Amino acid sequence: MIAKHFIASALAGAIALSLTGCQQSASNDPQSVQAQSQFQTYSAETFYDTVSLRGNSINHSGDKLLLSSDENGVFNLYEVDIKTGARTQLTDAKDSTYALAFFPEDDRILFSRDSGGNERTHVFVRDQQGEITDLTPGEETRAAFAGFSQDGQHFYVLSNQRDAKFMDLYKFDSNSYESQRVYTNETGLDVSAISPDGRYIALTKHHDNRDSDFYLLDTASDQGPKLLSAHEQPAKYSAWSFSVDGQSLYYTTNAKDEFRQMWRYNLATQEHELALDADWDVSFMEYSKSGRYRVSAVNADASTQVTILDTKTNQELALPSTLPKGTLSGVEFSDDEQIMSFYLSSDTSPRNLYVWRIGSDQAQRLTNTLSANIAEENLVSSEVVRFKSFDGLTIPGILYKPQQASATNKVPALVWVHGGPGGQSRTGYNAMRQFLVNQGYAVFAVNNRGSAGYGKTFFHLDDKKHGEEDLQDIIYGKKHLQTLDWVDNDKIGIIGGSYGGYMTAAALAFAPNEFEVGINIFGVTNWVRTLKSIPPWWESYKKALYDEMGDPATDEERHRRISPLFHADNIKKPLLVVQGANDPRVLQVESDELVAAVKANGVPVEYVLFPDEGHGFSKRENRITAANAYLSFLDKHLRGQ
């Protein structure tokens, strides 16, 4: 799955704005006029009063929460008092800073940060006096936190400091921070889980885009990793986590079904048994500290369905009935398992943090992330719809209808293409979509063939067919929009980030008469270059990526055929390109060259380059700048104001 997401979109945070008042053409429908008179649009600054939150860690004494918030423009660390909800800012960095965890026995903090979006993330510790130490120094180092040992005396970090291509596993002393390498990754066996006592390490090997294995390494033995997933037909296996008692290893696989199931391997008996099954992909399964509560999630038709099971009673845990409707995420339990913290969100509400004393009839809301100046009723809920593509295949998508839209007040529309390849547009709060819809642009987020979440057959339908059959799905998504009586059939554009940016450029180059405009957000334009410039830390997934996209050593001719840059002379519709200068996945030169080529056609092209961003926008002021650029471009070239 990771290979499918090599250039996955990292469109961070809310991108939403508008001018004052409704800018649609007047309607003669009295009901429509009344609805529009009550409707309000919002400026970029108002939309970016909305706060994005990440992380959720409860401290050892159960009275504080650790999270990251961008309320001051850039993600930084905040400590939240569980009783009062009071927040204390702990860092004031210029680069986005993300919470990892409290230490198990005190209020020291682990967090991560890269430099300007270059994805060379380091792991830091902040002590109780506020002093910060980089545990993984080095300009080329990339590191990731891998959890604490059960006794809290050690924690684990993955780092490529020995070899830029592979992430080794290091064990750090929780007090001295001295470290030792406990697993040397020389063959691309990636660490997936560590047993509570640290004796066993679960490893995953990605062979190609359809096939992977998982292994168990006993560090107390001289023997190498033991294969646990012997199989004949291609299938994906991925180790997930160990049980609380360390006697079982959980893993996911699609070997037995079209969708991913969760299975359990018993270390003592060496038996495999099904642990969790659903009609869709099982996304994850985790346990509280003692194992009393099991949290699991299913990716059900582009929405996350979370279930919390009380393993003592074998009954689903009933949350307070007073909670608003929404999607549950980020569930955490205190050490004594008396308190549960979690996020709730919906299409019209960004994530808010709650705490709940388990069994009580009320949960305390700790945050209000939607701007106080935005009325939630002015935002819209999405609808999952399906349509037939060129070959009869059913394609799902998520449709947003502006409140201004009606048969007598038709609106312009955009087909939205997700990142990946192999990503998925999902329901839930998405500020960029809400911004566009609030301004009167319909948005149809099409999950073309090759998207995740709809089974392994659907997932592989675009392998080595990119810019061809998947592009036809996008075009037929446009055709579906043209069947809606509230859409202006002559004003439909395309927008996407990362792989979606590639699809945008491909649509303008290979189907130049289909879309009126395109917005390419850090999208690949030259597959020949991109596949030869993969960051070294993707070495473990290179084979899987090549299996999906084609090996640059043998498939260069096809890569040239599907690369918009080599066909840019076909582009004749207005184009907006947005790029981060520090992007290690889609290099700036990709966008530079496309912009120059389209300008040579005499076609309107605009270019927004952020010198302090990578593959996504982590800073609020940059999101506002991008949002203003989208709106100005669309109003000029699509709406035609």
Where exactly are the structural domains of the chain?
3-47+373-639, 53-365
**CB of 537 within 8 A of CB of 160?**
yes
**CB of 113 within 8 A of CB of 97?**
yes
556: Cβ contacts below 8 Å, ≥ 6 apart: 528
The mean predicted confidence, pLDDT, of the chain is 91
Element (H, E) at 201: strand 200-206
Tell which residue, 200, 101, 216, has the closest CA to residue 147: 101
Round to whole Å and give the CA distance between 48 and 369.
10
Strands 64-69 and 53-58: antiparallel
Tell which residue, 409, 403, 337, has the closest CA to residue 376: 403
The pLDDT of residue 3: 41
Q: What is the pLDDT of residues 295-325, one digit of tens each?
A: 999 999 999 999 999 999 999 999 999 999 9
The pLDDT of residue 31: 39
Helices (H), 271-396: none
Helix (H, G, I), strand (E, B) or coil at 111: strand
Place of tokens 């700790």: 366
Which tokens in the block code for residue 5?
């997401």
Which tokens in the block code for residue 499?
């792989």
162: Cβ contacts below 8 Å, ≥ 6 apart: 168, 181, 184
**CB of 28 within 8 A of CB of 408?**
yes
**Which residue spans within 429-564 are E strands per DSSP?**
442-446, 487-497, 518-521
- Which phi and psi (to 5°) does residue 472 adopt? -65, -35
Residues 308, 312, 314, 318: is their CA dihedral positive or negative? negative
Round to whole Å and give the CA distance between 269 and 228.
13
Place of tokens 């089974």: 455
Amino acid in position 245: D
Q: How many helices (H) and strands (E) does the chain have?
A: 11, 36
**CB of 461 within 8 A of CB of 548?**
no
The pLDDT of residue 249: 98
CA distances (Å), origin 95, targets 138, 222, 620: 17, 43, 11
Round to whole Å and give the CA distance between 94 and 35.
43
The pLDDT of residue 14: 30
374: Cβ contacts below 8 Å, ≥ 6 apart: 42, 46, 47, 49, 50
CA distances (Å), origin 484, targets 346, 399, 442, 489, 640: 25, 11, 11, 9, 21
CATH superfamily of 53-365: Prolyl oligopeptidase, N-terminal domain (2.130.10.120)
Residue 626 sits at the vertex; the CA angle it makes with 559 and 591, to the nearest 5 degrees, is 25
Sheet architecture: strand order including 327-333? 327-333, 339-346, 349-357, 363-365
Q: What is the DSSP string of 568-599?
A: GGG--S-EEEEEETT-SSS-HHHHHHHHHHHH
The pLDDT of residue 23: 32
Residues 290, 291, 293, 299: is their CA dihedral positive or negative? positive
CA distances (Å), origin 591, targets 416, 465, 495, 563, 588: 19, 23, 15, 12, 6
Cβ atoms < 10 Å from Cβ of 602:
8
CATH superfamily of 3-47+373-639: Alpha/Beta hydrolase fold, catalytic domain (3.40.50.1820)
Round to whole Å and give the CA distance between 50 and 375.
12
Strands 281-287 and 272-276: unpaired
Round to whole Å and give the CA distance between 61 and 51.
27
Q: Within the chain, which residues score under 50 in pLDDT? A: 1-36
Round to whole Å and give the CA distance between 97 and 622.
16
The pLDDT of residue 209: 85
The pLDDT of residue 4: 42
- Which phi and psi (to 5°) does residue 358 adopt? -55, 130
Amino acid in position 468: E
Strands 237-242 and 143-148: unpaired
The pLDDT of residue 15: 28
Residues in the chain: 641
* 3-47+373-639 and 53-365 share one fold: no
Global pTM reads: 0.90
Residue 121 sits at the vertex; the CA angle it makes with 116 and 123, to the nearest 5 degrees, is 130
The pLDDT of residue 16: 29
Round to whole Å and give the CA distance between 141 and 125.
16
- Which phi and psi (to 5°) does residue 168 adopt? -85, 165
